[in-house]
Structure 1
């Protein structure tokens, strides 16, 4: 049974992390949407905070060092990406940028990418379009029309923002799921009417992150 690969690049630095929470929710909705298309989907989460030292060494050496090379290989093999970063100084984090500075442009050509970010204020939401979208356009990726930004207020269950965030997540996930389906159709790959998440050690940490953020 063949499958498609979704890789989630999470640049959240804290634990628990609202950026990881957003990335996990997006991935879950993509899995659900892909299941409706009759596709099999494997999800791997890369937490770049765990790669910080190897990213720095890779940047100075000019090639992937340690776990970074494995992470880059996962990105190259992926049929689609979800990328999420916190906002620092009105743009993506330095660690996020440093990781993607190591990516070979030709290996990203045509790859569907869903962009997402978190921040304290909704005023930073435009960074999706003036910072993240140009970065992945330069990398020749196909950036989904809907980017998802979550401010602190979006996580509050007492406001209408939570519903709006859920709507944006579903819309963005549907767009990425359709792109994954298009990739499969173009390659002539047949999938069964099933979907599953391949949970690695990093994704298991994400489950704990959900519980911490929700105060469970």
Structure 2
């Protein structure tokens, strides 16, 4: 079963960011045409835990669960509100505290919301470079939604297109392709008997 993690950094409740993230997740499951395990990670309730992690280096139980879900995911859908022409600090902090290599080779669909379409380039100048740096495979089509987009049909077409691309990339990859960090570290060490002999 494919594991999809939907990360939303919306700050209000309800949130247009969370709404877009949920719609992208639903469309991806529909496009996959197979059963999938979908985990929603809302960053707003983790704000204090993220700050504590930055200061202490230790993750709370809830934050550790979110980090593990992302590390084990076949695909991640990451959606942020736009602040000062870029992703939010809360969004960036979450991806800053992931273990190194957590997103290596993971397929990621990026999305963003803002009050006006003037911020639409945030997908290309902020989100895509962030996930490329984290060694993720970023879906060609990202989805930006301004406030007025939620009442129209064009947003739904863009959601379906991006979700279809994500589903295609996920389906083309063997389910066993992702290893957790422990397995990667263990494989890098080599044979235990050789280590003892050396």
After TM superposition, the score normalised by the length of structure 2 is 0.86
Which residue does the alignment assign to 1:90?
A: 85
The question of whether the paired residues in 2 share the 8 Å contact of 1:12 and 1:47 is answered with yes
Structure 1 vs Structure 2 CA RMSD: 1.2
Matched, 1:182 2:180: no
* Alpha carbons of structure 1 residues 63 and 124: separation in structure 2 relative to 1, 3 Å: same
Q: Which moved more, 1:104-113 or 1:124-133?
A: 104-113
Which residue does the alignment assign to 1:77?
A: 72
The question of whether the paired residues in 1 share the 8 Å contact of 2:85 and 2:122 is answered with yes
Q: Distance in 1 between matches of 2:61 and 2:170?
A: 29
Question: Which one of 140, 146, 158 corresponds to residue 145 of structure 1?
Answer: 140
Which residue does the alignment assign to 1:128?
A: 123
Which residue does the alignment assign to 1:26?
A: 24
Report 1:34-183 matches (<5 A).
Answer: 34-35=32-33, 39-156=34-151, 162-183=152-173
Gap runs ≥5 in structure 1: 157-161, 188-216
Q: State the number of aligned residues.
A: 177
Which residue does the alignment assign to 2:184?
A: none
Runs of 4+ in 1 over 3 A off after TM superposition: none
Q: Deviation at 1:40?
A: 2.1
The question of whether the paired residues in 2 share the 8 Å contact of 1:54 and 1:66 is answered with no
Find the structure with the greater CA-based Rg.
Answer: 2
**SS at 1:7 equivalent:** strand
Which residue does the alignment assign to 2:2?
A: 4
Higher relative contact order (CA 8 A, sep 6+): 1
After TM superposition, the score normalised by the length of structure 1 is 0.79
